[in-house]
Amino acid sequence: MRLRKRSALPVLVLLLTVAVPIGLAAVSPFDTPDRPHSENMELLGASLRAGAVTGPPPAGPGDVPWDTRNTDLAFWGKSVIQGRYDGFRVIDVRSPRHPKELAFFTCVSPQGDVGIYGNLVFRAVDSPQVTNGCAAASQSGNPTGADCAPASSPCTGFEGIQIFDISHLNDIRLVKSVPLDCGTHTFTVVPDPSANRVLIYNSVSSAGAQANPGKYGNRCPGSPFNREDIVEVPLDDPSSSSVIGSFSLGHMPAPDGRLI
C-alpha cells in the first residue's frame, strides 16, 4: 500500500503542473477588465457584429449609433437570437468559445427586444413607425397625408409585435406585424401546445396620447400604462396572429406620485 501511495504522488504533481498552464491558456481574449462580470462567471467567447464598438460602454443610448445598439437575447437549443435596434442576429453557440453568426436580418426600429419559439422570432416595436414593414434606415414617425387614409392626418404610425419565419436563414421573412395600442417593449412568450399556438403577453410601452389611429388601427390613449395585451400566434398560420384580449394591472405610482 505504501508503494502505491508513493508512486501516485509524482502523477498528481504532474497533473497539477499540466492543468495550470492549460487553464491559463483557455482564458478568452474577450475576458478583459472593460467587460466586468461577477466572479462566479467566466466569459468563454464573443460574437461581434461587424461595425460594433469595442472597449468601455458608450455614455448612453442617445450617443450610440443604430448599428451598435443591442437589446435582448432569446435562446432556442444551440441558437441565440440577439435583438438589436436595427434588426436581429441568429448565432450558433454549439461551440461556446467560438460562437458564429448564421444570419443578420435588417429591420431598423426600436426597441428590438426578441423572443423565439421554434422557427418563429418575435420582435418588439415600441414607438410609432411610418410603415409596419422592415427597412434599412430609420422610419420612426407618424404617417401623414394620403398614407393615413382613411383616417385623418396626421395619424398614428405602427407599433406592436413583428413575427418572423427563420426556417430558411438565407430567406428570413416578416410574416405578420401585429399592431398594439401603445406598442410593445417587454413581452413573454408562453407556449400552448395543446392548442397548437403560442400566446404572447405584452407590456405596453409609449410616451403619451397619440393622434387618430391610422391604417394599422393602433392608437395609444396615454397614461395610465397599466395594461397587458394577449397576442395569439397560431403555429399552423402565424400570418393570422391577432390580439385576443387584454387586462389591467391596476394603477402603479410613479416617483412623482402620479398613477401610471
The pTM (predicted TM-score) of the whole model is 0.80
Cα–Cα distance, 85 to 112 (Å, whole number): 5
pLDDT in tens, the chain (260 residues): 433 333 333 333 332 333 334 444 467 777 878 778 888 888 888 887 765 555 444 444 455 565 567 889 999 999 999 999 889 999 999 999 999 999 999 998 888 999 999 999 999 998 889 999 999 888 888 888 888 888 788 888 899 999 999 999 999 999 999 999 888 889 999 999 999 999 999 988 766 677 678 788 888 877 767 788 999 999 999 999 999 998 877 766 666 666 55
Half-sphere exposure of 186 (CA within 13 A, CB side): 5
Cα–Cα distance, 205 to 183 (Å, whole number): 5
| Helix, coil or strand: residue 259 | strand
Cell numbers found for residue 64: 450610440
Q: CA-CA distances (angstroms) from residue 238 to 174, 242, 259?
A: 10, 9, 36
Q: CA-CA distances (angstroms) from residue 123 to 51, 62, 128, 139?
A: 22, 21, 14, 16
Q: What is the pLDDT of residues 146-168, one digit of tens each?
A: 888 887 888 888 999 999 999 99
Cα–Cα distance, 199 to 5 (Å, whole number): 62
Phi and psi of 167, rounded to 5°? Answer: -55, -40
Phi and psi of 16, rounded to 5°? Answer: -65, -40
Task: Tell me the domain boundaries of the chain.
Answer: 1-46, 66-248
Q: What is the pLDDT of residues 41-62, one digit of tens each?
A: 888 888 877 655 554 444 444 5
- Of 174, 74, 162, the C-alpha closest to 110 is 162
Tell me whether strands 70-76 and 79-84 are parallel, antiparallel or unpaired: antiparallel
Tell me whether strands 111-117 and 100-106 are parallel, antiparallel or unpaired: unpaired
- Of 217, 246, 220, the C-alpha closest to 231 is 246
Cα–Cα distance, 3 to 51 (Å, whole number): 62
Cα–Cα distance, 233 to 242 (Å, whole number): 7
